[in-house]
Chains A and B, each alone.
Chain A
Amino acid sequence: RASSTDTFSYATYHTLDEIYGFMDMLVAEHPQLVSKLQIGSTYEGRPIYVLKFSTGGNNRPAIWIDTGIHSREWVTQASGIWFAKKITQDYGQDPALTSILDNMDIFLEIVTNPDGFAFTHTKNRLWRKTRSITPGSSCIGVDPNRNWDAGFGKAGASNNPCSETYHGKFANSETEVKSIVDFVKSHGNIKAFISIHSYSQLLLYPYGYTTEPASDHNELDQLAKSAVTALASLYGTKFKYGSIIKAIYRASGGTIDWTYNQGIKYSYTFELRDTGRYGFLLPASQIIPTAQETWLALKTIMEYTMNHPY
């Protein structure tokens, strides 16, 4: 077990316990900057933790980043760990990040689907959904990215509990989703919401459940272009960008459609590496380069959010 976040290995995949242990180490090493909040518990009773990075103030405008809502997308949780460490390393060093944290808070939920993630380590590496039981069905789990109250149950999700895109009995039926919904509503001052998936190398903005363009479509598109340009500047990794329904396919009940409809203008979903050589089984050797390039895009979005208060 690593004795500090400096000896922790960011270049390998970790279990849920190791990630929760990392969080505790990071908080212990930076008590003035980092705190750990429990926003709820999973279906199987595991705690759901969010790291809060704050330099003071009261209920400051905030940026939310989550990884791992689809548990098999391991490079996202691994990148989330790297982001957490990066924030503590760069505050006070990197002018852009320092300015962001002097004005805003950052919330980072690294393991957004703990039950599913534990299951990928113990039983089925390719598990995607939650682990909730659906009465009347022998199939387990709900797709937590189809369970939000935004176009819920419309085309772009399945009502079959055995499907990988099963939307659940009702919106927010999954405690992993409801915990975030309650947190976002109670905080009330989140200005950017970024949910990170893999794979396909895409940067997406609302909507997924309708072809109606978002009212801020042009601004979101421009910012996405800047973000993917920053991302590509490091290793040349090419991302496409656009609205969910245009860039990939119709998807209802999605996270960022709900956050956007809550008034969180800068709502984005990333689909990280790769484009399909390894898919969800991305070799660990690509964790750090993936996190590094994604960080440049995240900073672009965070800086823009800070400079365009609304």
Chain B
Amino acid sequence: KEDFVGHQVLRISAADEAQVQKVTELEYLEHLQLDFWRGPAQPGTPIDVRVPFSSVQAVKVFLEAHGIEYTIMIEDVQSLLDEEQEQIFAFQT
């Protein structure tokens, strides 16, 4: 089963079209293995992206270097998944 330890979901706020474009460029860097939960759209609408642990640092440096605001929406995806599994298991038992 796929493991998501250390994966974070970032909520990116692109202030203008140029910043949306910058984030869109990230989408094509396949080695980062980004999973856009909410894809890049017009400025002002949130962009949510799941970032594997191995890419977190690089992505944050990239965003900060371009002055693109972001917050951490989910600190660790795996911990939420564990909670979800526990809830299902608790119900089944």
Chain A interface residues (CB < 8 Å from chain B): 9, 11-13, 122-126, 162-165, 199-200, 248-249, 276-281, 283-284
**Knowing A123-B2, A126-B4, A283-B83 touch, does A276 contact B36 (C-beta < 8 A)?**
no
Query: Quick check: is B54 within 8 A (CB to CB) of the other chain?
Result: no
Q: Are A278 and B1 in contact (CB under 8 A)?
A: no
- Residue from B37, B77, B81, B91 having most chain A Cβ neighbours under 10 A: B37
Q: Tell me the residues in window 1-26 of chain B with beta carbons closer than 8 Å to chain A beta carbons.
A: 1-2, 4, 9, 11
Return chain A residues, CB-CB under 8 Å to B48.
276, 279
> In chain A, what residue has the closest Cβ to B28?
A160
Minimum CB–CB distance for A211 against chain B, Å = 12
Q: Are A278 and B2 in contact (CB under 8 A)?
A: no
Q: Are B73 and A248 in contact (CB under 8 A)?
A: no
Minimum CB–CB distance for A231 against chain B, Å = 20
Return chain A residues, CB-CB under 8 Å to B40.
249
Query: Quick check: is B74 within 8 A (CB to CB) of the other chain?
Result: yes
Query: Quick check: is B84 within 8 A (CB to CB) of the other chain?
Result: yes
Question: Which of B1, B46, B74 lies in contact with A281, CB distance below 8 A?
Answer: B74
Question: Which of B1, B45, B73, B87 lies in contact with A123, CB distance below 8 A?
Answer: B1
A to B CB contacts below 8 Å, 12 in the list: A13-B88, A125-B2, A125-B4, A125-B84, A126-B35, A200-B38, A249-B40, A276-B48, A279-B9, A279-B37, A281-B77, A284-B91
Question: Which of B36, B39, B73, B91 lies in contact with A277, CB distance below 8 A?
Answer: B73
**Knowing A12-B88, A279-B48, A284-B84 touch, does A248 contact B41 (C-beta < 8 A)?**
yes
Minimum CB–CB distance for B28 against chain A, Å = 8
| Chain B: interface residue total (CB-CB under 8 A) | 29
Question: Which of B27, B39, B50, B91 lies in contact with A126, CB distance below 8 A?
Answer: B50
Q: Are A280 and B37 in contact (CB under 8 A)?
A: yes
A199 CA / B83 CA spacing, docked (Å): 19
Return chain A residues, CB-CB under 8 Å to B41.
248-249
A270 CA / B38 CA spacing, docked (Å): 15
A16 CA / B54 CA spacing, docked (Å): 32
Q: Are B35 and A164 in contact (CB under 8 A)?
A: yes
**Knowing A248-B41, A278-B80, A281-B84 touch, does A124 contact B73 (C-beta < 8 A)?**
no
**Knowing A164-B35, A279-B37 touch, does A122 contact B88 (C-beta < 8 A)?**
no
Return chain A residues, CB-CB under 8 Å to B2.
123-126
Minimum CB–CB distance for A117 against chain B, Å = 14
Return chain B residues, CB-CB under 8 Å to A163.
27
> In chain A, what residue has the closest Cβ to B50?
A126
Q: Are B80 and A281 in contact (CB under 8 A)?
A: yes
Return chain A residues, CB-CB under 8 Å to B27.
163
Q: Are B11 and A276 in contact (CB under 8 A)?
A: yes
A281 CA / B84 CA spacing, docked (Å): 8
Question: Which of A13, A126, A249, A276 lies in contact with B73, CB distance below 8 A?
Answer: A276
Question: Which of B4, B39, B50 lies in contact with A165, CB distance below 8 A?
Answer: B39
A204 CA / B77 CA spacing, docked (Å): 28
A178 CA / B57 CA spacing, docked (Å): 42
A162 CA / B80 CA spacing, docked (Å): 25
Return chain B residues, CB-CB under 8 Å to A164.
35-36
Return chain B residues, CB-CB under 8 Å to A124.
1-2
Question: Which of B9, B46, B84 lies in contact with A283, CB distance below 8 A?
Answer: B84
